[in-house]
Amino acid sequence: MLKKFIHFIFLPCSVATLLMEKRNSGALSPKESWQLSMHLKICKWCKAYEKKLKILDEILKRTLIQEEKNKIDTTDIQNFKDEMIRKMDF
């Protein structure tokens, strides 16, 4: 009984990291959010993991945004080809 209570309040690290990933991809339930915050208050390793996770997510978001900006639309390529053909025909 005591073991169940302790694991309800203080999650194992494996569950805490899973909840951090879940939080980044969606929303946590109030219970999960509370459990995660309690775990992060006592676990320095998961707190460090959370910081690294935030940095990696930010890098990923910036990379995806940059790739989207650099993406060439296929209609632009076709327009360019058509323009070159038109200029070559004189």
- Domains in the chain: boundaries: 1-88
pTM tops 0.85:
no
- Per-residue confidence (pLDDT) for residue 77, from 0 to 100: 78
Q: What is the pLDDT along the chain (90 residues), one digit of tens a residue?
A: 666 766 667 789 999 999 999 998 888 999 999 999 999 999 999 999 999 999 999 998 888 888 777 776 677 778 888 888 887 875
Please give the angle made by the CA atoms of 22, 9 and 53, to the nearest 5 degrees: 30
Question: pLDDT at position 47, please?
Answer: 95
pLDDT at position 49 is 94
Count CA atoms within 13 Å of residue 74 on its CB side: 0
Give the single-character DSSP code of 73: P
